[in-house]
Structure 1
Amino acid sequence: MQRGLDPIFNKDTRILILGSAPSEMSLKKQQYYGNNGNQFWKMMFAFFNVPFETDYDKRVALLLDHQIGLWDVYHLFERDGSLDTSFKTVELNDFSQILTQADIKLIITNGKKAYDEVLENNLFSDITIMPCISTSGAANGYMEKRRQ
């Protein structure tokens, strides 16, 4: 089983973006959205209309400065490759730490798998959940839809 990354958040976090689990490249780098084909960081910098940064600490700071945190729905997982369709065994994260330390108002799911898990397991009651098209390189054909 592979272990996901630790959450990124602080007491000021109001929005939590959830993926399913880190890609093989993200695990190797120990960075969220570490695969260069993933559009997550480019989209965040474009959304906030600031120059793009490759420095991971500056990327994280951008999110935290805007009260945004990152995590995944899966704590432990077995998967061939990095595709969400390849999970064999999964264990969900325990979200109580974040929910008691930060006042989360919105959950944004990055991709269908994360959205389905959040709904299927009723992970968050009384918090608005917004699904978004995956930023994964495998979904880059949806780039125009992501911008809408």
Structure 2
Amino acid sequence: MKKGLDPIFNQDTNILVLGSAPSEQSLKKQQYYGNNGNQFWKMLFNYYNVPFETDYNKRVNFLLDHHIGLWDVYHLFEREGSLDTSFKTVELNDFSQILTQADIKLIITNGKKAYDEVINNQLFPEIKIVPCISTSGAANGQMEKRKMQWEEALEMVDKEF
């Protein structure tokens, strides 16, 4: 079984972006969305209209400055490759720590698998959940729709929180 990455958050985090599990490249780099084909970082920097940053620590600080945290639904998982359709065995993360240490008001799920797990396991019954198309390279054929969904989710954050 492979182990996911530790969460990125602090006490000021209000938005939690949840994926399913890190890709093979992300695991090797020990960085969220470490595959260059993944559009997560580019979309976020573009949305906030700031120059794209390649330094991972600066990316993390950028997220935290915008009250955004990152984690995945799976703590441990068995999967061939990086596709969400390839999971064989999974174990969910325990979200109690992040829910007690941060004031999460919105969860944006990065992809269908993460959304399905959140809903099917009723992981956050008191928190608004917004599903978005995955930022992975596998979904790059849906770039316009994905961009629109992510922008609407982030605008909701700006308006409501």
TM-score tier, shorter chain, comes to over 0.9
User: Is 1:59 aligned with 2:56?
Assistant: no
Deviation at 1:147, TM superposition (A): 1.9
Deviation at 1:55, TM superposition (A): 0.3
Deviation at 1:135, TM superposition (A): 0.2
Instruction: Report the counterpart of residue 145 of structure 1 in structure 2.
Output: 145
Instruction: Report the counterpart of residue 34 of structure 1 in structure 2.
Output: 34
Gaps of at least 5 residues in structure 2 are 149-161
| 1:63-103 deviation line (CA, Å, top 9, x unaligned) | 10000000000000000000000000000000000000001
Name the SS for the 2:63 alignment partner. helix
Output the amino acid matched with 2:83.
L
Name the SS for the 1:27 alignment partner. helix
Percent identity over paired residues? 83
Output the amino acid matched with 2:102.
A
Instruction: Report the counterpart of residue 2 of structure 1 in structure 2.
Output: 2
| 1:85-144 deviation line (CA, Å, top 9, x unaligned) | 000000000000000000100000000000000000000011000000000000000101
Task: Spell out the pairing of 1:1-148 with structure 2 (5 A cutoff).
Answer: 1-148=1-148
| 1:32-72 deviation line (CA, Å, top 9, x unaligned) | 00000000000010011000010001111111000000000
Gaps of at least 5 residues in structure 1 are none
Name the SS for the 1:77 alignment partner. strand
Name the SS for the 1:103 alignment partner. coil
**Alignment coverage as a number of residue pairs:** 148
Alignment RMSD (CA, Å): 0.4
Residues in 1 aligned to 2:146 and 2:83: alpha-carbon distance in whole angstroms? 19
Name the SS for the 1:60 alignment partner. helix
Output the amino acid matched with 1:31.
Q
Output the amino acid matched with 1:121.
N
Deviation at 1:146, TM superposition (A): 1.5
Name the SS for the 1:81 alignment partner. coil
Length-normalised TM-score, structure 2? 0.91
Residues in 1 aligned to 2:110 and 2:147: alpha-carbon distance in whole angstroms? 14
Residues in 1 aligned to 2:49 and 2:146: alpha-carbon distance in whole angstroms? 16
Residues in 2 aligned to 1:36 and 1:120: alpha-carbon distance in whole angstroms? 31
Residues in 1 aligned to 2:77 and 2:107: alpha-carbon distance in whole angstroms? 21
